[in-house]
Structure 1
Amino acid sequence: MSHPADDTLRHTPLHALHVRLGARMVPFAGYAMPVQYPAGLLAEHHHTRESASLFDVSHMGQLSLIGPDAAAALEALIPMDVLGLGVDRQRYGLLLNDAGGIIDDLMFVNRDVAQGGDLFLIVNGACKHGDLAHIAAGIGHRCTIRVQFDRALLALQGPRAVDALRRLLPGVETLVFMTGRAFEWNGAELYVTRSGYTGEDGFEISVPADAAEGLALALLEQPEVRPAGLGARNSLRLEAGLPLYGNDIDATTSPVEAGLAWAIQKVRRSGGARAGGFPGAERVLGQLDGRIPVERRRVGLVAQERVPVREHVGLENFDGQTIGETTSGLLSPTLNTPIAMGYVETDYSEPDTEVFAMVRGKPVPMRVRPMPFVPTRYHRG
């Protein structure tokens, strides 16, 4: 597999810092990104679980929707309750196509859009230009879209993240999971949410590009904090049972198949006051209320032998019939056992069902397990 030369890749505002810190840089979502630092993936993973790690996620796309109709407009694109979201509250969302497939998953915050603020969206790096085009085509006539792809995004994750960040941003400790607030640091306007992609407590910090390196250095000076790369981010999110767009969910996957129906609030479901009205509603609501069968489901899998099972490995039943495929997999650093997620025919999706992953032609027994594999520790107050 050929990778583009580094000079064809975009750089985040922290690129020079990553190089100084000895990061191994790899292509990801069109950017040169740090996959790990000299300490290595395992050390970075364990440090995040025990203390606090700083991740550069500036490849993600940031944009704002502005105007009195912005919340209702966004509801026309996603099956989430936007109108009912409180000020400085954050919610997980899904952009769907007309077949009910997932174009992207995203996070959105109501920064008082009703009083002249905005809806602040964070979308996946590899999808951000396509997402922008989709949003502009769908609701660009109903609200103003302000693109902020030049802003940096830092993720400080781990049980001691709050100890480190409160020294720089007093008051940040009052945030709870999925809430946010504006802060100022050295003259730079920040927006901080208590959220993340590791299953641990932590924060995501939107920061102007020219202040990003200074803030990152200030955080790395805190005794709790060390840098971590994409490798540890991936192993942590898999242990937390969180899907990766492009691997575990894509434009062919419905929210119900993906196990993400929890993200569709009651008001947007059949019988709700604002039910439907989003792309793919017929399929999604039909699968939710049983009118349309759900033929496959995303499940967690734990190997019964110490054989790592990666993505795109076929899954078979006792009779050797193909019943699914893995979409992510690795040797869990926390559990010290191989874990994976993938899709299986619905009949095989119940916990403790045994299936076989075909690794280099040999069947590796795996059991279906509920996710997360490692309990999440979000700070809910």
Structure 2
Amino acid sequence: MTAPFSFRLLANDGMARRGEIVTPHGRVATPAFMPVGTQATVKAMYPGQVRELGADVVLGNTYHLMLRPGAERIARLGGLHTFMNWPHTILTDSGGFQVMSLAQLRKLTEEGVTFQSHIDGSRHVMTPERSVEIQQLLGSDIQMQLDECIALPAPREDVERAMRLSLRWAERSRAQFETMGGPGRGQALYGIVQGGDVPDLRIASAQALGEMPFEGYSVGGLAVGEPQDVMLAMLDVTTPAMPVDKPRYLMGVGTPEDILESVARGIDQFDCVMPTRAGRHGLAYTRYGKVNLKNARHADDPRPLDEASDCPAARDYSRAYLHHLVKAGEGLAAMLLTWTNLAYYQTLMREMRAAIEEGRFEDFRAKTREDWARGDLAPLD
């Protein structure tokens, strides 16, 4: 262990925050985007590539790693950092999202969740205590409480029931984390704010969690079917109710626009499968917005995606060639476009951090939105 978990704010510009997280496996500059490595791999990328793009932290999935290859096996093999050859910070989610996404394969009670494996049909019980135990076996630096995430829209009574259950699970998760010695190893456990699209429930959840001794706090249950304006409205009421001196993590978000607008509302950490999933389906994210390489209009376009990019995938290959790879179903298409997308996300985060430090975040925000509005066939500067 090099250092215990800590967080400090370095600058503010309006609600936007520039900070630094320290974990036993390194420093994380915030605002930070965390590439998703669900099954101990960021799809179509080498770990070294992900690091070279500027990622300080990646995310692993407790539910999926529990099923395959198994948390106990990973522990015997030296933990998740060694297993996936990522010696930097790792965050693991709790399995709570699968409570929603695998609703047809689970049974929910006060005690926890019983899952039917989507792989082989075997049954597994995930309680708040077991979720923390698995994350401890994985050895992740930042761990998450088990919560119930419900799809929106939903009736208020369902939203409140899930929020109250998540608070009770938060207490149990914290007790297990301390029993297993997580704080002594410099690890962190985050609480998760729930409350759907109901402002007073969001505030109540944030305030109740803030009274518990978590190292950080997450906003969960958004980007699950609600419009973007609803998500942002929930952040408007939630982040002011969250502790100022702890990191704030918006789970599962999102598009570059989602991230830009959420940073403006005080969020420090993000994760999303979008850049990697989009890359596997022919979609690139650039400083000029989205580029769908499936479209025939790219077939004769000799320009790269962005000739000024630091990323070779975006700079050194023509749109015509990328279009060909996508249409031909070549694996190189997924590799190059995933590389392009993660590079752009990390560039966006780096530029936001600089803008906050220099007190020009609002100007940066406006200019970035203007660039996106110009479209994917704008002349390259």
TM range (shorter): under 0.3
Give the TM-score normalised by structure 1: 0.26
Give the TM-score normalised by structure 2: 0.26
Greater percentage in helix: 2
